[in-house]
Chain A
């Protein structure tokens, strides 16, 4: 151990990223690479009545045009068990297998050409005609469908109840109810999704943007009816994903189809507009929440109901109602989830899926209850602290939420919060708000392999991914710490199915899952070194040299401790926001965000802080900017670009302050890390909304809060 864990080590992949040498999916260039462009549907529902490729076929450079009329039928084998990243009911979109059109933007044909320009130009010449059918385009709560058994098994139940929430609510001395929502949000990672496919006989190589290469391999094998061993998926760098690269999207299949058809490597890179329809999104969710409380502010009842978007072909439900069941102590809780089926592409997890949505409702309701009862919002939360997970009825593996409140409040200066509408700076009104953040912590089985070379270099390999949180760096730190090696002697290689199996890189589970595997592999290597070692002080490489060994290798799997099943785990946080509002002009700007987080052990405070400020900016976007504008008359998102789908820019950046509190959570995993990507986004939007109320005296409950809301008459 050399105590490098916990050090603010600069990213080991930093030099590659700042020099442009880090290579993302679209940037590989296998010999003879050809280029593809998608032709997508322009109606929300119907059938293809004709595909005319006469003009496109004649366009220069065109190698092939594939569509359902000339595409081979693919097996699309059912998987024995669906991966948790896929909706548990319904059928994935099948590419070029039939004339059905289920949403605008559905890939209906692909053009392969010698250059990207020729492919895109010819794609514009493919003419598709349709028979129209009546689409489902309206988000009407009456149409809500309960999640079916598949979803329920995965914990997304149609209804849940402990105690008798409605009775308790009716009896409660204080009752508060509200409706709230957030808009449909798009991940819009800076790197557009892309896949390069190349066949060598019956073997397939895919360079893909993926948070889970093992799963891409498994799914493509099932789609093409191949043995998994014949597929290799490579994804060393992921240019942001936030959940959008969890699934194996249709364009991956399309790339493989194209490459097989033309007998060359082929690249499919989605345009930004296609990134709004060819992958997923965070579903627009509308919620009703009602709190019942005693005169002392203790909650006696929570009723939380949510309606979220899904597609016509898959049943996507979220864990939106978990915060209502777990955040606060309350004997009577009832929840309900409904899906509205629309002719759109399927939603998918986006950073803190479900939980950030549910937290919005729970925290808004708590803030309004605090106002109504004239209790400080922070004090109200303290009174309702849940010292165990009352939903699972299990103790927490660790919980430092109280410290989050204390440290966050101190750093923000919360105790001096003046009355609403009293803070001014010229024409600006200033407001303060806060919220709790919670995100469940999990761990999955993972395998890692470490190889020591005679030159003293140690290589760590596992099929995990790094979409930005710093997997490369953190794993190097774990290895350096375990083997007491300088970090610059360690290379981490990830994102390749040739490497030992790793779980999905998502849901804030990477550190807790992959870290212990790397540690275990390093420990196994150390054990192998012991009998070879004469003198304890010998450097590992000199041991190898003495024995004439070129390499020494060890592999280990690390699994969740069965005992952990007796506990519930979550990361916690407290978020405080200061906003400035110009009511006459309807402008809201966030001036400060302070977050204090209990995420267990922080492996690298430098990159951990980066992740937290990133989550804060994501929450700021949810509160004030992000909204995919759905036109029901046309059944499509109209602002499918980065100029009109607004994400925060540099000038929107407030002063950001991040603290970490709490202790290593050694029950969850031997490193004690709980994960922090998601919790950092939770709570930000309701804290900002509360601050806007504090500044203006007005409650805005539908995110994003925009100029028109501020200017609307009360």
Chain B
């Protein structure tokens, strides 16, 4: 349904449009989107301005409500004479009910025991070598590399795919080794930082990282380098802006990003 511009918005329709719009708002709040849309459409047909007014008023009310409860943290000014007013954080009463929920103690919910294997023999192809190991199926590829194969070059920074320190190449593409299970990586060729240098000679990206001092503590470095190798393999990194965007899956808390970008730009010319 589209707005019909031919209907004159004479005053007579305004109250009705307002009522419809208010009903629509109610329906929307109650979670009935379909009804809300129908009512809004009807109200709009009668008087678009009335609908806009209702929405504006609704918004203002919502804003007022929010402002009343708003954290003082971000209000621009507050009276210096009142330290209480300057208190930080929301001053909601501690939720005893929520704490009671925690106090009763909790464990993993009772579950059906697994029917399928919880341990499996797999073959991991890492840096051209095949490693036959038996793993608990819960083992991530990252833990398998670090704890089973002794390849600790791939780092664990968060185990949730949020930092990139564990980046390796799988099937030639950069991935987070913490976000895949070792059993799922079975038979997929994997390259880790340990497999990058050839015959003792640093890979051009490794060399560039040293020359441009693209790290400090070194903990994110393996992931940064593997990600950079992936980026170059994908043919990306044609501008600094693209390098920055494409390297944003790899956090560096020492803040070496500017040097990382320099290193990748330089390596791109060598590779």
A interface list, Cβ under 8 A from B = 10-11, 13-24, 26-27, 29, 35, 42-44, 46, 50, 52, 55, 115-118, 121, 124-132, 134-135, 137-142, 144, 177, 179, 181, 183, 187-192, 237-242, 269, 271-272, 284, 286, 288, 290, 307, 467-470, 606-607, 609-611, 613-618, 630, 632-635, 641-643, 647-653, 656, 698-702, 706, 708-709, 712, 714
Give 30 CB contacts A-B under 8 Å: A18-B202, A18-B210, A20-B193, A44-B99, A127-B105, A128-B105, A138-B91, A142-B87, A179-B77, A191-B219, A238-B217, A271-B159, A272-B163, A288-B86, A468-B217, A469-B216, A607-B213, A610-B259, A614-B256, A615-B255, A616-B255, A632-B90, A634-B99, A635-B99, A649-B248, A649-B257, A650-B261, A651-B245, A653-B257, A653-B258
Kindly state the interface size class of chain B when it binds its partner: 35 or more
What is the bound-complex CA distance between A127 and B103, given in angstroms? 10
Q: Which of B48-92 contact A (CB under 8 A)?
A: 73-78, 80, 83-84, 86-92
A130-B210 contact, Cβ under 8 Å, with A615-B255, A616-B255, A708-B74: no
Contacting residues, chain B, for A470 (C-beta < 8 A) = 216
| Contact partner, B76, options A10, A635, A700, Cβ 8 Å | A700
| Contact partner, B219, options A189, A269, A706, Cβ 8 Å | A189
Contact B90 A19 (CB under 8 A): no
Contact A27 B152 (CB under 8 A): yes
Contact B194 A20 (CB under 8 A): yes
Contact B86 A239 (CB under 8 A): no
What is the bound-complex CA distance between A221 and B213, given in angstroms? 38
Contact A10 B217 (CB under 8 A): no
Contact A137 B253 (CB under 8 A): no
Whether B107 sits at the interface, judged by CB under 8 Å, is: yes
Contacting residues, chain A, for B245 (C-beta < 8 A) = 650-651
Contacting residues, chain A, for B153 (C-beta < 8 A) = 19-21
A117 shortest CB reach to chain B, Å: 4
Given contacts A240-B253, A642-B162, 6 further A-B pairs with CB under 8 A are A115-B136, A190-B220, A191-B157, A240-B217, A611-B216, A614-B255
What is the bound-complex CA distance between A132 and B98, given in angstroms? 11
What is the bound-complex CA distance between A139 and B254, given in angstroms? 30
What is the bound-complex CA distance between A238 and B252, given in angstroms? 14
Contacting residues, chain B, for A116 (C-beta < 8 A) = 143, 147
Whether B132 sits at the interface, judged by CB under 8 Å, is: no
Contact A651 B213 (CB under 8 A): no
Q: Which of B200-232 contact A (CB under 8 A)?
A: 202, 206-207, 209-211, 213, 215-222, 225
| Contact partner, B103, options A26, A43, A124, A138, Cβ 8 Å | A43
Contact B160 A709 (CB under 8 A): no
What is the bound-complex CA distance between A169 and B92, given in angstroms? 36
A206 shortest CB reach to chain B, Å: 18
Contact B216 A19 (CB under 8 A): no
Q: Which of B166-224 contact A (CB under 8 A)?
A: 192-194, 196-197, 202, 206-207, 209-211, 213, 215-222
A653-B261 contact, Cβ under 8 Å, with A117-B136, A130-B105, A632-B91: yes
The A-B contact count (CB < 8 A) is 278
Contacting residues, chain B, for A648 (C-beta < 8 A) = 255, 257
Whether B106 sits at the interface, judged by CB under 8 Å, is: yes
Whether B155 sits at the interface, judged by CB under 8 Å, is: yes
Query: Nearest residue in B to A44 (C-beta to C-beta)?
Result: B99
A240 shortest CB reach to chain B, Å: 4
Contacting residues, chain A, for B206 (C-beta < 8 A) = 15, 18-19
B interface list, Cβ under 8 A from A = 73-78, 80, 83-84, 86-96, 98-100, 102-108, 136, 138-139, 143, 146-147, 150-160, 162-163, 165, 192-194, 196-197, 202, 206-207, 209-211, 213, 215-222, 225, 243-245, 247-248, 250-261
Contact A134 B94 (CB under 8 A): yes
Query: Nearest residue in B to A54 (C-beta to C-beta)?
Result: B107
Query: Nearest residue in A to B193 (C-beta to C-beta)?
Result: A20
What is the bound-complex CA distance between A699 and B74, given in angstroms? 11
Query: Nearest residue in B to A615 (C-beta to C-beta)?
Result: B255
What is the bound-complex CA distance between A617 and B253, given in angstroms? 8
Contact A649 B251 (CB under 8 A): yes
Contact B225 A18 (CB under 8 A): yes
A301 shortest CB reach to chain B, Å: 15
Task: Among B154, B193, B221, B250, find the residue whose CB has the most chain A CB atoms closer than 10 A.
Answer: B221
Query: Nearest residue in A to B206 (C-beta to C-beta)?
Result: A18
| Contact partner, A642, options B90, B155, B157, Cβ 8 Å | B157
| Contact partner, A126, options B102, B107, B257, Cβ 8 Å | B107
Task: Among B210, B248, B255, find the residue whose CB has the most chain A CB atoms closer than 10 A.
Answer: B255
Contacting residues, chain A, for B256 (C-beta < 8 A) = 610, 613-614
Please give me the 4 A-B residue pairs with the lowest Cβ-Cβ distance, nearest first.
A20-B153, A617-B255, A239-B219, A468-B216
Contact B253 A188 (CB under 8 A): yes
What is the bound-complex CA distance between A650 and B231, given in angstroms? 14
What is the bound-complex CA distance between A130 and B106, given in angstroms? 11
Contact B218 A55 (CB under 8 A): no
Contact A643 B162 (CB under 8 A): yes
Contacting residues, chain B, for A653 (C-beta < 8 A) = 244, 257-258, 261
Query: Nearest residue in B to A143 (C-beta to C-beta)?
Result: B87
